[in-house]
Structure 1
């Protein structure tokens, strides 16, 4: 019985498909398409907007003095600023640049 199992383990299964050859990351044809540049512009603008809003919120939080605790956004406002801007970045650019680029931006953040 043990011998039968070891003989069956040595037998390799035959694939009923063939793996396609690996595709290049960025082909020459891709550089000629407007969709690539449109996606790059959208991601660039979204990233600038993200940085502008979040850094402005952090600067506003840092300038808040102890006497004016209720006049600023507070620590929770900073967290909502980052979370909200990530949502806006993904929601607005996913249709243009595709969800994979937006997801990469979020993972890198």
Structure 2
């Protein structure tokens, strides 16, 4: 994750996840046109990437691992899966907002250069918490790419969770950042 963000930062600002792009759009960091363009390209890239993984893994091993497609694991409900995706994506998107906040003081001016480190660490922590529940979606493009290339029922069962959850989590993170953290203080007369 850290390497991907560093590699793409100069091209797209490190956008590799539609949920992050959506959150930054809601936080007024991106235009609608750019956000839609990024999301389409992220999905196309994920489909191509999943195809490459399938080619390298071989049919037997790829099938045995479910093609990397996300699903709500046994012992958990759809609500558990949705909640895990919302909370996990909130953590990721809020970390992105915090790590890339241009309004930090001068003493924190080095933080944007190091932004991929806390973002990558947030992804790592979210994976630790949510892999047992959903296999960790938090990136709708990655979930879509794996589902399309795997193209079995398991890849599409509850697929909506891996879009709705991340987009809700991203919206909540954007709302929290804009309304609570970066709120314009009221001036008293």
Question: TM-score if structure 1 supplies the norm length?
Answer: 0.50
Q: Indicate the structure whose relative CO is greater, using CA pairs within 8 Å and at least 6 residues apart.
A: 2
- TM-score by length of structure 2 reads 0.31
